[in-house]
Amino acid sequence: MDESSTRTQWQHFYDTAVWQRLRRLQLTHEPLCKMCLARGVVTPARVADHVEPHNGDWNKFRLGPLQSLCFDCHDIHKRRIDLHGYSSDIDDDGWPIDPRHPANKVR
């Protein structure tokens, strides 16, 4: 079973009153995008993102930690981290800042 068909099995979680309340609380407590703020950019958050993927586990979905993100950070940057295990953000010298990035591994 591929990821997209698995995702449709738990997509209805996002329609529940529990999720709508959690999302509203998260965005009220953290109205700015966490990833943008880390780069010094102020951007309104629109997504309550699960810090750790829940993969359809109802308990992780309801009780797992959340963070506030803008659409771009959620759909691009967070997705890249989920897929590769590290961020591709770079510092002023052009070097990856994420210690998990392959370029930062001790040779």
The region, left, alpha or beta by phi > 0 then psi within -120 to 50, assigned to residue 55 is left
Look at residue 39 in the predicted model and tell me its pLDDT: 86
> What are the φ/ψ torsions at residue 17 (nearest 5 degrees)?
-65, -35
Task: Please write the tens of the pLDDT for every residue from 35-50.
Answer: 999 889 999 999 999 9
Enclosing H/E stretch for 60: helix 58-63
What Cα–Cα distance (Å) separates residue 99 from each residue in 52, 53, 68, 89? 18, 21, 23, 11
pTM over 0.85: no
Helix (H) / strand (E) containing 80: helix 79-84
Ordered per-residue pLDDT tens for the chain, 107 residues: 445 555 678 889 999 999 999 999 999 999 999 999 988 999 999 999 999 889 899 999 999 999 999 999 998 888 877 777 777 777 888 888 778 788 888 75
